[in-house]
Structure 1
C-alpha cells in the first residue's frame, strides 16, 4: 500500500513539474520580443573585363549542317550578323551542293544529276502561279544560302510570326508564310531540312522509292508540351 502511495505521489509531482514548465514557456513566448530579420545586403555585380561571343541561336541547326568543318562552324558562331553573308555564303552553298553529291554517290547516281532543287519558299514568293520558265522559282542555292548564312530571325510586322507555315500545302502552298520569325510550336529542324532537301514539293528526299530520308529528323514536336507561362516549355517527356 505504501509503495502504491509513493508511486501516485511521484506521478503527481512529475505532472506538476511539466505543467509548470509549460506555463513558464508559454508566458515566455508571449512576452518575448521577436528578433527582426537582418537587412539584405545588395550584391554588386562586377561586369568589368573582356568578353567574347561564342554562339548564335537564331536558326538552330543551320551552322551544323552547312559548315563543312569545325573551324568554319566556330568562326560563324563568333562573327557578327552583318558580316556573316559575305563571309560564309559561298562555303555554305558549296557544302549544300556537296551534300547532294554525297547522296547521289550513295544512290549510285551521277553527282551532276542530283543538285539542290529550288524549294517551297519559291511558291510563297511567286504566289499561286506554279513555277515555270516564265515564272521561275527564285530560291536558288545561292539565294537560300545567302539568307541562311546570316544567323538572325526576320521580323515581319504585317505577317504572322512563323518559321514556316505551308498554308494548304503542295502543290501551290496557297496562304503559305515563311521566315517571318519563330514560334515555340515551329519544328525548326524539320523545316530547315525541308528547305535544304525537300525541293519544290517539300518531299523530294522523303525516304520513299529508295531515296534517303532527309526532310525530317524523326523527332516529333508535341504541342501539349507548350505552356502559357515562363519558361513556356514543359518538362521533358
Structure 2
C-alpha cells in the first residue's frame, strides 16, 4: 500500500511540474554556450595512496590479515621488500607445508626467498627491447598485455614447482583420490571475445 501511495505522489508531483512549466514562455529561444568554460581542478591539499596492483592477486594470496593487506596497498615500492618479504616468504612456505609438500624451485629457477623478494615489490616491469608479456613461455615479466592471464602465471610461479604443474590435483599415493589441490590456475578462462584496441577501457564485451 505504501508503495502504491508513493507512486501516486510521484505522479502528482510530476504532473504539477508539467503544468507549472506550460506557461507562455514556450517560444523563448534557448542559448547554448558552444564553448563552456572548463572547470579548474583543485590539486591542493595532501593526497593519500589507497591501493595499488602492479601484479594482480599477489597481496590476496601472500598478504596477512586485513590490516597487513591495507598496509601493503599504501606502502611505496621502495619500502615493500623490507616491510613484507619475510611475511610473504612465511606464507608461501606455510601454504606448501599445509599439504606436506616443500616449496620447489619454480619454472624460472627461483627459490622461495628470491621469488618472494621479487613479488613483495609490487611493480610491473617493462622491457622496451623484449616482447611485452607477463609470461609467454620464454619471456617473463617484461610487461603485460590485456590478454595475459596474470593470475594463472602468478599461481604457477608460486605453486607450480620445476615444471609449472606441481599443485595440479595430483594423486600422490595412487589411491584414486587427489592428494594435492589445484593451485596453478583459478580456472577462469581468458574469454573468447575480441579485445577492444581503440576505445577505453579496451575490454571484451559481456559474453
Aligning the two structures, in what range does the TM-score lie when normalised by the shorter sequence?
Answer: 0.7 to 0.9
**Structure 1 ranges of 4+ moved more than 6 A:** none
Instruction: Please give the residue correspondences for 1:185-224 in structure 2 after superposition, counting only pairs within 5 Å.
Output: 185-209=147-171, 210=178, 211-224=180-193
Q: Does 1:146 align with 2:86?
A: no
Q: What TM-score, normalized to structure 1?
A: 0.68
Instruction: Please give the residue correspondences for 1:83-122 in structure 2 after superposition, counting only pairs within 5 Å.
Output: 83-104=79-100, 114-122=101-109
User: What is aligned with 1:5?
Assistant: none
Q: Work out the number of aligned pairs and report it.
A: 171
Q: CA RMSD in A?
A: 1.7
User: What is aligned with 1:50?
Assistant: 46
**Bigger Rg, which one:** 1
User: What is aligned with 1:183?
Assistant: 145
Say whether the 8 Å CA contact 2:193–2:205 is kept in structure 1: no
Q: What TM-score, normalized to structure 2?
A: 0.77
Q: Which ranges in structure 2 are unaligned for 5 or more consecutive residues?
A: 1-28, 172-177
Q: Which of structures 1 and 2 has the larger relative contact order (alpha carbons within 8 angstroms, sep 6+)?
A: 1
Say whether the 8 Å CA contact 1:185–1:223 is kept in structure 2: no
CA distance in 1, matches of 2:119, 2:61: 11
Q: In proportion to residue count, which structure has more helix?
A: 1
CA distance in 2, matches of 1:145, 1:182: 20
Q: Deviations over 1:160-195 (max 9, x none)?
A: 1111111xxxxxxxxx11111111111011111000
